[in-house]
Homo-oligomer: A and B are copies of this chain.
Amino acid sequence: MDNWQKRSRPFRLEKRFEFDTYDETRDFLDRLGEHTEAVNRFPDISFGKTYVNITLRPDNDKTPLSEDDFKFAEEIDGFFH
């Protein structure tokens, strides 16, 4: 799990991915979208032409981050290539 920022109040993981072109940004978003749908988990995503910011929160904001959250973050890293 590379370069995810752990934050609290509320507990969350955040990461910014940068791209050279809009096509690469879009491809990443498409892979991510298919995965979030497959696992039925929908992080908050912000994006522009060449960046994507992702915020992962536990199901309950009061809950600390769990192994599941770190695993999901790693899966997302896998879509960045």
Contact = CB atoms under 8 A, between A and B. Distances in A.
Contact of A48 (B33, B43, B47, B49): B43
A59 interface: no
B42 A33 contact: no
Interface residues of A, number: 13
A33 B42 CA distance: 19
A44 B46 contact: yes
**CB-based closest 10 A-B pairs:** A42-B49, A46-B46, A44-B48, A45-B47, A42-B48, A26-B33, A22-B42, A22-B37, A44-B46, A45-B46
Interface of A: 22, 26, 29, 33, 37, 42-49
